């Protein structure tokens, strides 16, 4: 007869293979009992369909979420009633941290694709983290990564050249996919061109022209939403180029 209290670490690693909870618990040196306590509070495999909302503006903070697969965008609504995209969330990234300061959400999270999410009740997560220092440190680390992405986004919006904003966006996505153990040079964009335009503060036509120019210059290859980065060095240069740098036009006089 199997021992009822034995923790199945292999099952947990399979379940959290591409999940922020892996960053929170598995590398943190947490013992089996503590890891089991964390695993017990996670509500796994909540299915959502494209267009579903995890929370709305003004909703109280009750949980944080992790997309096991699929992707989400966080948005706010301007005074003119237009949607402004604040961020995109890939599999394994925490969603809902916007409510930490005021205990209520300042944006809403919308599924870009069919997805499965883990829902983690925040009060229980806080209680477990307070008793497990390793978990608390890892949780702060993940929150810091989210803040860092927000700061990177603000830096992108300060760039005047549309091409540099688009290059920085693609370079950042590449790094995030790579961090999740996926290909950083070939990936499918879960968001539309219109979403990208609203995120980067550009017109839709400008984003379309920017993708076309990067493809003509041999930096990327685009088929629908499939993107292949052909010249990572050049994409990196464009993403981080000083404002005075002129873009390199390939194969042209």
Residue 253 lies in a domain: no
Q: Domain check: are 144 and 168 in the same one?
A: no
The pLDDT of residue 12 is 42
pLDDT of 145-160, one tens digit each?
777 777 677 766 766 6
Looking at 127, 149, 171, the residue that finishes a domain is 149
How many whole angstroms separate alpha carbon 152 and alpha carbon 124?
31
Q: Are residues 205 and 90 in the same domain?
A: no
Q: What percent of the chain has pLDDT over 90?
A: 43
pLDDT band at 143 (very low <50, low <70, confident <90, very high): confident
User: Is residue 62 located within the same domain as residue 173?
Assistant: no
Residue 111 CB burial class (10 angstroms; 0-12, 13-18, ≥19): buried
Residue 250 lies in a domain: no
Helix (H), strand (E) counts: the chain: 9, 11
197 touches 207 (CB < 8 A): yes
- Residue 90 within a domain: yes
Q: What is the model's pLDDT at position 84?
A: 92
The pLDDT assigned to 91 comes to 83
Give the count of domains, the chain: 2
Q: Domain ends where: 89, 121, 149?
A: 149
Q: Residue 106 domain-assigned?
A: yes
Q: Which residue(s) pair with 60 in the sheet?
A: 104
pLDDT in tens, 222-250: 999 999 999 999 999 998 876 545 455 55
Of the given ranges (34-38, 135-139, 189-193), which has the lowest mean pLDDT? 34-38
pLDDT at 187: 96
Q: Which of 149, 179, 195 is the last residue of a domain?
A: 149
Higher pLDDT, 236 or 33: 236
Same domain for 105 and 192: no
Domain that holds residue 63: 9-149
Quick check: 76 pLDDT over 50? Answer: yes
pTM as predicted: 0.78
CA-CA-CA-CA torsion sign (23, 68, 18, 2): positive
């Amino acid at each position: 007869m199997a021992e009822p209290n034995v923790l199945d670490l292999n099952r947990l690693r399979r379940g959290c293979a591409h999940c922020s909870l892996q960053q929170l618990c598995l590398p943190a040196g947490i013992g089996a009992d503590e890891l089991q306590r964390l695993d017990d509070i996670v509500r796994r495999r909540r299915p959502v369909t494209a267009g579903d909302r995890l929370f709305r503006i003004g909703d109280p903070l009750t949980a944080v979420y992790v997309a096991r697969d699929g992707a989400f965008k966080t948005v706010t609504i301007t005074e003119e009633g237009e949607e402004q995209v604040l961020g995109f969330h890939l599999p394994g990234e925490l969603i809902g941290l916007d409510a930490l300061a005021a205990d209520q959400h300042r944006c809403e999270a919308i599924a870009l694709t069919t997805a499965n999410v883990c829902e983690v009740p925040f009060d229980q997560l806080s209680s477990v983290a307070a008793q497990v220092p390793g978990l608390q440190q890892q949780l702060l680390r993940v929150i810091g990564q989210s803040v860092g992405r927000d700061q990177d986004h603000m830096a992108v919006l300060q760039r005047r050249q549309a091409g540099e904003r688009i290059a920085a966006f693609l370079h950042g996505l590449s790094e995030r996919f790579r961090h999740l153990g996926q290909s950083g040079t070939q990936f499918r964009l879960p968001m539309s061109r219109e979403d990208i335009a609203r995120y980067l503060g550009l017109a839709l036509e400008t984003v379309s022209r920017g993708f076309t120019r990067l493809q003509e210059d041999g930096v990327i290859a685009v088929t629908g939403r499939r993107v292949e980065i052909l010249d990572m060095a050049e994409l990196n240069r464009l993403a981080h180029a000083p404002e005075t740098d002129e873009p390199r036009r390939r194969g042209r006089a």
